[in-house]
Structure 1
Amino acid sequence: MREMLNKIREPEGISSSKKIGYTTLFCILGMMMGIISKILDTSAINELPYVLQVLDLGNFLSRLGVWLFFGVMISVYSKSPMRAALNVLMFFAGMVGSYYYYTVAVAGFFPKSYMMIWVALTILSPVLAFVCWYAKGKGLVPIILSSAIFMFMTSQTFVFGFWYFDLTHPLELLIWIATILVLYQSPGQIAKVVMIGMVLFIIVGSQVPLYYGLFVLLFLN
């Protein structure tokens, strides 16, 4: 199994000090992002600087897509699938932990149901990161993985129906473009990824928000 996976993408060596440093950095980054997100979430929009009001950054950071993008980016640029799993886990643990610590300690309430949803996603994140790491490899498997990632990010960016096609949030478009850049390896490779990903989005990807909604309801009940 290891030989087969190494043919797709071979892990790179990294010193112990860099391993500790990078993992700590991702944890701190997650903590900072969690606190910033919660501050924006609890602040009245007219109290924020004009630029943040226009960008609607609070609502943007409350959406799933931006956090999935961070997870994908950390995954594919890690040196090995195990490093990807650990780095993403620490990022989400830091983000979720700081977000809900601020919620309880400063905002003064405890949304247990929604917290459990994010805890569940955090627990799943290492497995997803391990798999996503191979999206930057060679062959058919990375094309399939990249297409699936692109499909999911497209479902977070656009709303698709029989008579309509709309953008969910202006900043989501930047994340969508950034996803293409992160997954890019060659013109031919990214053309296949975008083409297959868009077909998957039209067929099943437009229903991803529905599946996420069912996941949320499962935990709320």
Structure 2
Amino acid sequence: MKEIFMNIRKAEQIPLSKKIWYTGFILLCGISLGIISKFLDMTAVNGLPSFLQTLDLGNFFSRLGVWIFLGTVIAVYSKSPLRAGLNVFLFFAGMVASYYVYTVAVAGFFPKSYMMIWVFLTFLSPIMAGICWYAKGDSIVSIIISSVILMVMASQTFVFGFWYWDLINPLELLLWIATILVLYQSPRQIAKVIVTGMFLFLIVGSRIPLLY
């Protein structure tokens, strides 16, 4: 079984000091983004600089698409599936902890039911990250995993129906394009990923509810 997984993508070894530094930095990023996200969520739009009002970052960070993208980036650029799981888990743990500590300490309320959803996703994230890590491999399995990732990102970017096709948010489009760049390995590989991913979106992904 181990050989099968190694044929998809081989893990790389890095010094322990780099492992600690990288993982610590990822945890710090999660904590920082959790605080920033809650700050933007609590701040009135007209209280922000004009360029932030235009970007509407408060709503952007409240949607799951940006977090799926960041988790994917952390996972695929980790050196092994185990490290992908650890890094992504700590990123989300830091983000969720800082977000809700800020919520309780500053906003003065505790949205338990909503928090439990994020706690569940945080504990699920290592498994998903370990799977996503293989997206950068060299096999049909990697193509399938990459296509599913792109399908999920497309479901958070486009609204598709029998007579219409619409864009949810320009920032979501940038994330979708960035996802393609992250998954890119060769022109032939990424062409397969885009075609397969968008086909899956049309038949399956368009039925996935928008994740807020």
Q: TM-score range by the shorter chain?
A: over 0.9
Runs of 4+ aligned structure 1 residues displaced above 6 Å come to none
Q: Distance in 2 between matches of 1:167 and 1:112?
A: 32
Q: Residues 16-27 of structure 1 correspond to what in structure 2 (within 5 A)?
A: 16-27=16-27
Partner in structure 2 of residue 217 of structure 1: none
Partner in structure 1 of residue 168 of structure 2: 168
1:199 CA displacement: 0.5
Sequence identity (%): 67
CA deviation vs aligned residue, 1:109-144 (integer Å, no higher than 9, x gap):
100010000000000000000000000001100000
1:163 CA displacement: 1.2
Q: Residues 147-186 of structure 1 correspond to what in structure 2 (within 5 A)?
A: 147-186=147-186
Partner in structure 2 of residue 65 of structure 1: 65
1:38 CA displacement: 0.3
1:164 CA displacement: 1.1
Q: Distance in 2 between matches of 1:29 and 1:198?
A: 31
Partner in structure 2 of residue 144 of structure 1: 144
Q: Residues 196-215 of structure 1 correspond to what in structure 2 (within 5 A)?
A: 196-209=196-209
1:169 CA displacement: 1.1
RMSD of aligned alpha carbons = 1.0
Partner in structure 2 of residue 188 of structure 1: 188
Partner in structure 1 of residue 31 of structure 2: 31
Q: Distance in 1 between matches of 2:164 and 2:111?
A: 35
Unpaired segments ≥5 residues, structure 1:
214-221
TM-score of the pair, normalised by structure 2: 0.98
1:170 CA displacement: 1.2
CA deviation vs aligned residue, 1:87-123 (integer Å, no higher than 9, x gap):
0000000000000000001110100010000000000
The DSSP-based 3-state class of the residue aligned with 2:166 is strand
TM-score of the pair, normalised by structure 1: 0.94
Q: Distance in 1 between matches of 2:43 and 2:166?
A: 28
CA deviation vs aligned residue, 1:23-79 (integer Å, no higher than 9, x gap):
111110000000000000000000000010000011001000000000000000000
Select between 201-210 and 111-120 the one with higher mean Cα deviation. Answer: 201-210
1:146 CA displacement: 0.3
* Counterpart check, 1:89 vs 2:61: no
Q: Distance in 1 between matches of 2:186 and 2:162?
A: 33
Partner in structure 1 of residue 53 of structure 2: 53
1:176 CA displacement: 0.4
